[in-house]
Chains A and B, each alone.
Chain A
Amino acid sequence: MNRALWTKSFREARLLLFALSLLMFVFNWLFVWLTSLVDLGAYKVIMQHLPGELQSMINLPLSKLATDTGRIALAYIDPVAVFAVLSWALARGSDCVAGELGRGTMEMLLAQPVRRLSILTIHAVVTTFGAAALAGAAWLGTVQGLAACGMSDGVAYADFIPAAGNLFALAFFLAAVSSMISACESYRWRAIGIMGGFYMVQLVIKVIGRLAPKFDWLLYGTFLGAFEPQVLAVNPERAWELSLRYDGTLLGLGLAAYVLAAVVFCRRDLPAPL
C-alpha cells in the first residue's frame, strides 16, 4: 500500500490523537490521585448509602467495588473516558468516506491509481492504532497514578490491562460502525448524527436493562452490554474468559462493520462534490 496515503492518514489523525491520549492519561492519573484521597472505610459507607439502582448501573457488588482496584476501575467507565473514546471513534469513522466526500477531496484521491479498499484499510488501521493508543494512555495514566500516590502495594498494574483492552474494543467497534455509516453517506454531519443517535439508543437500552430486572434481556440487544471494564478489572481470575466474551463480541461486530463498509464503499457511485 502507498506510503503517501499512510503519511496522510497519520498526519490527519495526529493532533486529535495526541490531545485525546493526553486527556486519557491525565484523567486516569488524576482519578487515581482523587481516589487515594478518600479513605476506603469512608468510601464503603458512602457506597452503602447510595441507591441500589446506582449500584446496579455500576454492575459490581459492594465487596468488589469498595476495594482500591474496584474504585480505580471506575475510571474506565467514567463519562470522560467514554467521551474520549467516542470522540476518537466518531471523528475518525465519520471522516473515512463521508468526510472526504463532503470536503470534495475524495474525487482527487480516487483519481489516483489507488484502490478504494486501500483507502478504507489504511484509514481503519490508523484509527485502530489510535484506539489502542488511547487505551494504552488510560492504562499508563492508571499506572502513573498508582505509582505516584503510593497505592501500588495493594493493587496490581496488570489487573487494569483487561479493562484497557475492553476500552480499546469499544473504540474499535464504534469506529467500525461509524465507518460503515460513513461509507453509505455523503455528509459527515449526517454520519455523526446517525452514529450519535445509535449510541444514545444503545445507552438507554443498557440503562433500562440494568435498572429493571424484568428487562435484563435487553442487555443482549446493546453492544454496551459487552463494555464492562470495571468487571474485568475486579475479576482478574476470570479476566481471560470475560475478555474473550466482551472484547470478542465488540471486535467481531466491529470487523463485520468494517467488512460491510468496504463492500458498500467499493461498490457505490461516487457523488460529485457539492
Chain B
Amino acid sequence: MALPQSNSAGIVETLSLTKRYGDVAALNGCSLQIERGEVYGLLGPNGSGKTTLIRLLMGFLRPTSGSAQIDGLDCYRDSVAVHQRVAYLPGDARLFPQMRGREVLKFFCDVRPGASFRRALDLAERLQLELSRKVSMLSTGMRQKLALAAVLAAETPLVILDEPTANLDPNVRSEVLSLVREARQAGRTVIFSSHVMDESEQACDRVGIMRRGELVHVQRVADVRRQHRIRARLTGPLPGAPRELAAQLTISASGEDVTIYTPGELSPLLGWLATLPLAEVKVEPLGLRAIYDSFHPLDGDNGFGDRESDAQRDERERVLQWATQGRSA
C-alpha cells in the first residue's frame, strides 16, 4: 500500500521535544532530523532518554512541549497514520502468551494492511524460530526473535528498533544487523537504539548520543571509522610533523608519552611514524566508544565506585574537543 509521503528530506523531525514528569525531565529540548534511508543510532546509558524519545515518536506519550513529526505527521495527534509508516520493536517486546508463534505472526500481518505473512515466515526461518510453540513457553530470546520477525514483516518506510539484540545469541545478533542493513538497502529508514557500541558502529550511518534527557552530540559514523589514535613512547625528542600532515594531526605530549589523533587515512602517516624514535607504539581506531565515553565519563556517582583519573579526564576532554571540532553531523 503506497502511503503519501511528505516532501521533506527528513522522515523524522523533532523540535525542542520535551517530556517532563513533574520536576523530572525525561527528555529535554530534543531537536533532531533523521534523513530518509539512513540508519540512525541512539546511544546512551539507561535513563538517558532514548526510550522516552522513541515512545514520543510512537505517540505513546503526549509531549510536554515541542513537536515530533514522522513523514510530516504529528506523532501524537496522527498516531494511526504514523503507525502505518512505522514498524516498532520495543526494548522488552511482550507478545500474547496464549498464541502460538505462527498465530502471532499471522495476527500482526492481519492487523497491519500491507504486511506480508510470507515474509514473516521467511524471517522466522532465518531467525531459526520455533513457530509451533506457545509464546508463554518461549524463552526471552525466542520471544524477542518472534517479535522481530513480526515487526520486520511490515514493509514500512521507518523501522524503530529499541535494543533489538538484547537477549540474543551472537549468531542471531549478526543476523539482526544483516536485516538492518537489508532494510537500509531497501531504502527504509531505521532508528536503532543500542548499548552495544560495536553494533551501532557496524549498523548505523549516524548516531545521536543522549545524556540525562538531552541529545548532546550527533556523530557521522563514517568519520569515526577513519579516525585513529596513536599512542607512543619515545626514546628521544619528538620531531615536528611534515607540513602536509601537521594541519590535520592533533598531537599532545606528556614527557616521553605522545598521543596523536588523525582524522583520515593512516597510510600517509606511517612513513613519518617510522622515522620517530619509538620505544613503544599502539595504533587504534578511535571508535564510537571513545566519543561515547567523552560524554559519559565514569564518575563517582556511577554506582560502582569507579572514578576516572585526572589523566583519563584530560584524555576524554581531548577526544571530545577533537571529535566535535567541526565534525558534528
A-side interface residues toward B, CB under 8 Å?
2-5, 8, 11-12, 103-105, 107-108, 110-115, 267, 269-270, 272-273
**A104-B94, A272-B55 known; A111-B83 Cβ under 8 A:** yes
The CA of A114 and the CA of B110, in the complex, are separated in Å by 12
B80, CB-defined interface residue at 8 Å = yes
**A111-B86, A269-B60 known; A4-B94 Cβ under 8 A:** no
> Which of B95-103, B192-200, B256-264 touches A?
B95-103
Closest to B97 in A: A103
Contact residues in B for A270 (Cβ distance below 8 Å) = 55, 60-61
Residue among B93, B110, B113 making CB contact with A113, cutoff 8 Å:
B113
The CA of A115 and the CA of B80, in the complex, are separated in Å by 6
Can you list 29 A-B pairs with a CB-CB distance of less than 8 A? A3-B110, A4-B111, A5-B111, A8-B96, A12-B98, A103-B97, A105-B96, A107-B94, A108-B90, A108-B93, A108-B147, A108-B150, A110-B58, A110-B60, A111-B87, A111-B90, A112-B83, A112-B108, A113-B80, A113-B83, A114-B80, A114-B83, A114-B111, A267-B62, A269-B60, A269-B61, A272-B51, A273-B90, A273-B92
The CA of A40 and the CA of B2, in the complex, are separated in Å by 73
- Do B60 and A107 have beta carbons less than 8 Å apart? yes
Contact residues in A for B80 (Cβ distance below 8 Å) = 113-115
A126 CB, nearest partner CB in chain B, Å:
15
Contact residues in B for A104 (Cβ distance below 8 Å) = 90, 92, 94
A222 CB, nearest partner CB in chain B, Å:
36
B138 CB, nearest partner CB in chain A, Å:
14
The CA of A2 and the CA of B109, in the complex, are separated in Å by 11
The CA of A6 and the CA of B86, in the complex, are separated in Å by 23
B292, CB-defined interface residue at 8 Å = no
B97 CB, nearest partner CB in chain A, Å:
7
- Do A105 and B94 have beta carbons less than 8 Å apart? yes
B40, CB-defined interface residue at 8 Å = no
**A4-B110, A113-B80, A113-B83 known; A108-B62 Cβ under 8 A:** no
B150 CB, nearest partner CB in chain A, Å:
8
The CA of A110 and the CA of B86, in the complex, are separated in Å by 11
**A113-B84, A270-B61, A272-B51 known; A8-B107 Cβ under 8 A:** yes
Contact residues in B for A108 (Cβ distance below 8 Å) = 90, 93-95, 108, 147, 150
Closest to B51 in A: A272
- Do B60 and A273 have beta carbons less than 8 Å apart? no
B196 CB, nearest partner CB in chain A, Å:
21
Closest to B84 in A: A113
Contact residues in B for A2 (Cβ distance below 8 Å) = 110-111
The CA of A12 and the CA of B111, in the complex, are separated in Å by 16
B327, CB-defined interface residue at 8 Å = no
A44 CB, nearest partner CB in chain B, Å:
51
Leading 9 A-B pairs by shortest Cβ distance: A104-B94, A4-B110, A270-B60, A111-B88, A113-B83, A4-B111, A113-B84, A269-B61, A112-B111
Contact residues in A for B61 (Cβ distance below 8 Å) = 269-270
- Do B62 and A269 have beta carbons less than 8 Å apart? yes
Q: Which residues, 40 to 89 on B, are CB-close (under 8 Å) to A?
A: 51, 55, 58, 60-62, 80-81, 83-84, 86-88
B112, CB-defined interface residue at 8 Å = yes
